[in-house]
Amino acid sequence: VRDPRSLHTSSPLMSQALSSCLQDDEDEDEYVAQIANSHLSEILNDDVYAISMEDSSWPSLDDELGETSIWDAPLDDETAVAERRKLAQRQQAPKRSAIEMLLNFDLESPPQTDDLEEMELWLECEAQRESVRRYQKVIESARDRRDYASLTVVQKQIVQWYPKLKEAIGEEQQAYITKSKAKRDMNRYGPFLCSLQPQKLAVIVSHESIMHTLQRGGNGVTLVSLALRIGGAVEAEVKVQRALQQRLEESSLRNKEPELNIEDLLDENESNEITADTSEIADQFSEGEGEDAGTTSFGSWMYGPSHLQQFIDEAHSLDPSKKTRIRINYAKRRAQWILKSDEEWTKPDKLKLGILLIEVLLKTATIQHKGRQEKAFSHEKRYFPKQKCVGKIFLHDALYKMVTEHTFESLEGHTTRYKPMIVPPRDWVAPNDGGYSWLKTDLMRTHGSKMQTEALNQADLSTVFDGLNVLGSVPWAINEFVLDVAQRCWRDNIPLGDIPSRTDHILPQKPILPKRDTQNLDPDSPAFKAANAEFRAFKEALSRYHRIKQKNMDLQSLRCSVMLKLDQAEKFKEFEQIYFPYNMDFRGRAYPVPPHLSNVGSDLCRGMLRFAEAKPLGSRGLYWLKVHLANLAGNDKLTFHGRAAFTEENMENVRAAVSDPFGPNRWWMTLDDPFQGLATCQEIVNAIDSGDPESYMCSLPVHMDGSCNGLQHYAALGRDTVGGKAVNLCDADTPQDVYIGVMHEVIRRVTEEAAIDLDFEGVDPDELSASEREALKHNRAAKLVNGLIDRGVVKRTVMTSVYGVTYIGARKQIQEKIEEKLEEKGYDIDEMASEIHAACGYLASTTMDVMGELFQGARQTMTWLATCARLIAQLDQPVAWMSPIGVPVVQPYRQSKPFTILTLLQSVVLLDTSDDLPLHKSRQATAFPPNYVHSLDSSHMLLTALEMDRRGLTFSAVHDSFWTHACDIDEMNEALRDVFVELYEQPLLETLKKTWELRYPSITFPDLPERGDLDLKEVQSAPYFFQ
């Protein structure tokens, strides 16, 4: 197990200079030191405080030792003696409580213990407090020594902005209390603004703004989203301060002890160092010396009223008139109500507070660029079709480039509260009880639907809990070989897979709008036509400029994403085991909670992960490794033997990938999934070179994926023999490829269209009829894409058609592939963007038409589901159902209600989507078929997880991609087929209809679609059902 003390100091991502300066920083400015409590509300489990105040000592030795005690072992047993010594040390050093851990949290000093549970608690504290805690440490050091060279880019900017930002926020707070100046909405946002100290607010607004804009890349963030995020962070901080104080008071009453304050949890020396009376603080604050001249009580930092009292006392001393006292007392009551109320802040309140803080940030935060100070953030209004305008906040390009071109430490510490765990997650036992040790995690992402939450609380979720617990209990580890390769790709600017280029596209000059004076020109004159041609050229150039600019913005977002993934892998690479707690979406689909690094992530994430447990390959393990590599290379439509042969034919390339990944032979980089392919190459070579492949200990997950899994579920529901054969539900010697079948029919239709020669050359398009223009459009589109269509072009559209993909979505999917192929042929896709757009629209329509004709059984079932949903929605009821494993699903789609709010920067429109609003009836109907199928595939996956656990086998999954050790693939294949057959032997559609008929007796639902004669038992012998 990794030594916790080396967690940061040994990492290349941690600034050594920063560590050294922090060690010397003993006398901290306490106005800065207490910032550490930010961002803690609603993250701790409900019982944390109560538990932390109970006796938290270690269990007795008898409890730990069980029946067989090492104390009975002879004295010459060295192992037993060592264990005795370790247990004695643990008995003498009780665990710290939750509150003690939080209050005494030190980012640079992980607990010096081998206890992984305590280390996990420290990591969860770190997830919330590392960013703010780091600022509190570096501000004092940087200010005293004027040394910013040792800081990361993000830290440096926060530190530089902090003094002016804190001062400006303090002035806004005083302005509200004393009414020294009038400002729009001051009475609305003022009490919320005064609920926290300016020091904390300065850190919250700067941290949230820079990290939110960084993560969105150059696209900027909407003003509304950033303001709500900042307002929510302030609300969270207020709540946690109140919760801490309340828990301490409750604990003191329960234990019949004198009332506790939070400084009682500190050691005596620390408490003495940071205690002073309130009057001294008020004096220091009013004189503008609070930051440097003294210290404050810990209680004043933990609970807002003492901070508010500073303003009250100062205002009374400056102007004791009756009118002032009345005004101040009103402000005091408003602010104290906010501090003590359990009610959630409304969206308008958070919005107005957030925008006020953003306004202050825009005025104070600057960056040194080209020898002058420029604003670090900018506020712009962007106009879009069907919308008046959207306000956006942009980060200065120079600052963004500094961060992304810096080392990972620029983002290290600013990632997410939810990270991988180093101990198994807590078992789910209730909808809000499970997962992380301290951090709050909900079982379901309900989209704020109260109906969904109520249904969840009343349902029997035992099967769901068991399935998620099985998935979360799988131990993982970082594949350091793949991590090192990925880090070099990033460092050396080698774009590969998920790793984008670090070089922007060349952005042309923004074209200048030409002068158009055509009012007095004859429309048939050459001058008029020349002016129109010039304007069209301008529009095309402007469109090209914006497309390239958008590509650069997308690159920036991708770079940020990769940096976060690599940072997480680097941070956890030395732990022998890490875990991913799971929860689910409203349809019951399971997902790991950590957002950046998990097995549900991209090829890069999956390649960097392996099972922590290794198992001997056995007689068939090496064979499945070879099949797995062929799948990752895109050869997944060969027979299994053909795939193994493919790998054997490429053994020279496989060995070159492992011995020198960046050598002249870079075959592995051409694979569909290069990083997973590289990990597989390493295992194959190591197994062969071991001399005994069957005994080789392999920890690589091997996947078996469903064959267009959505269509498989539809075919099973309707017992569709034709559709079942097309998606491998039936026994066959070779795998059937539904995508190839669609591709051939699409190619046939496009070829026929392209062969037609339309005699419209030299004819003005305006003189053609509507039907002639449409025919010409299709003909030109067919000619452009003819010869470019392959399996990959239609695959995503076919795969997502059963999940409700729209025409627009299909066109975008196809356009990505067509543009890649045209670029390979040397075309300038920016110059011919309009032609490509039209051609891909034609191709999307053709593909969807072919799908509807080939899979009529699935189409009939989809139509029945959508019709029933539409009938339910007409009663103003959301479509709801129970999944086969007991998940109550309530579709959350409602008409959003816009309302306008005037703010300091602009008027904004908010959308209310509460359960009280009218249903979005069309979306309730169109979304139901894909949502219902998702609830079925999630049931199949979780039931398979339970069956694999019953058999004692490791199992993980990404929806319809099931993973286990190479040696256990054959048994997993058997288990997943048995579970699928058992699932669909139930009368699922019949049960669904009966449930609805009982609930909605006024509706006459249509008859079920006629079933086919597919024999489900055949699935158990279908070799390519999952492959």
Active-site position among 705, 790, 970, 978: 705
All residue ranges of the chain with pLDDT < 70 are: 1-114, 122, 125-156, 180, 215-218, 240-343, 383-388, 403-417, 518, 759-766, 897-916
Contact 777, 838 (CB under 8 A): yes
Note the pLDDT of residue 857.
84
**Residue 682: phi, psi to the nearest 5?**
-60, -45
Q: What is the DSSP string of 986-1025?
A: S-HHHHHHHHHHHH-TT--PPPPPPP----GGGGGG-TTS
Choose the catalytic residue: 29, 498, 960, 968.
960
Distances (CA, A) of 919 to 138, 245, 893, 915, 1021: 51, 42, 6, 9, 45
**Alpha-carbon dihedral sign for residues 824, 827, 828, 829:** negative
How is residue 505 annotated by DSSP? P
Give dist(CA 125, CA 653) in Å, integer.
46
* Token pair of 125 as six digits: 């504290």
Element (H, E) at 381: strand 377-382
Residue 429 sits at φ, ψ, to 5 deg, of -130, -10
Q: How far apart are CA 236 and CA 228, in angstroms?
A: 12
Residue type for 749, please?
R
Token duo for residue 613: 């447990």
The pTM of this model reads: 0.68
Backbone angles phi, psi at 962, to 5 degrees: -105, 135
Provide the pLDDT for residue 416.
60
Report the amino acid identity of residue 644: A
End-to-end CA distance of the chain: 36
Spatial contact of 205 and 165, defined as CB atoms under 8 Å apart: yes
- What are the CA-CA distances from residue 923 to residues 890, 895, 926, 974 (Å)? 13, 10, 5, 38
Contact 234, 201 (CB under 8 A): yes
Whether 615 is catalytic is: no
Q: Find residue 624's DSSP bridge partners.
A: none
Is 960 tagged catalytic?
A: yes
- Given the residues 795, 817, 830, 949, select the one marked as catalytic: 795
Distances (CA, A) of 713 to 506, 521, 724, 858, 978: 47, 65, 9, 9, 15
Dihedral of the alpha carbons of 691, 697, 701, 703, in degrees to the nearest 10:
50
**Can you give the three-state secondary structure of 717-756, one letter per residue?**
HHCCHHHHHHCCCCCCCCCCCHHHHHHHHHHHHHHHHHCC
Number of neighbours of residue 315 by Cβ within 10 angstroms: 22
Nearest to 532 by CA among 545, 543, 522, 542: 522
* pLDDT tens digits, one per residue of 202-249: 878 887 888 788 766 667 888 888 999 898 888 877 776 666 566 556
Contact 443, 456 (CB under 8 A): yes
Map 566-603 to HEC letters: HHHHHHHCCCCCEECCEEEECCCCEEECCCCCCCCCCH
Can you say whether residue 39 is alpha, beta or left, with left for phi > 0 and alpha for psi between -120 and 50 degrees?
left
Question: 999 vs 432, 450, 765, 878, CA distance in Å?
Answer: 28, 19, 57, 12
Q: Which amino acid is at 83?
A: E
Closest CA to 586 of 173, 83, 934, 79: 934
The 3-state secondary structure of 879-944 reads: CEEECCCCCEEECCCECCEEEEEECCCCEEEEEECCCCCCECHHHHHHHHHHHHHHHHHHHHHHHH
Q: Tell me the two tokens of residue 964.
A: 């286990």
Quote the CA–CA distance of 275 and 262 in Å, as a whole number. Answer: 12
Q: What is the DSSP letter of 373?
A: E
Letter for the amino acid at 895? Q
Tell me the C-alpha distance between 124 and 101, whole Å.
Answer: 10
Query: Among residues 88, 137, 83, which one has the least CA distance to residue 108?
Result: 137
The Cα–Cα gap between 579 and 561 comes to 21
Q: How far apart are CA 269 and CA 784, in angstroms?
A: 78
Handedness of CA 915, 916, 917, 920 (dihedral sign): positive
Query: Among 697, 552, 700, 560, which residue's Cα sits nearest to residue 626?
Result: 700
Cα–Cα separations (whole angstroms), residue 84 to 78, 89, 94, 118, 339: 10, 9, 16, 20, 50
Taking the C-alpha atoms of residue 24 and residue 994, their distance in angstroms, rounded to an integer, is 72
- Structure-token pair, residue 143: 């200010």
Tell me how far apart the alpha carbons of residues 859 and 828 are, in angstroms, rounded to a whole number: 39
- What are the φ/ψ torsions at residue 152 (nearest 5 degrees)? -75, 170
Residue 47 is predicted with a pLDDT of: 39
Residue 183 annotated among the catalytic residues of the structure = no
Contact between residue 174 and residue 137 where contact means Cβ atoms under 8 Å apart: no
**Which helix (DSSP H) or strand (DSSP E) does residue 611 occupy?**
strand 609-611
DSSP H or E segment with residue 527: helix 526-572
Question: Do residues 995 and 872 lie in contact, with contact meaning Cβ atoms separated by under 8 Å?
Answer: no
Cα separation, 172 vs 174, whole angstroms: 5
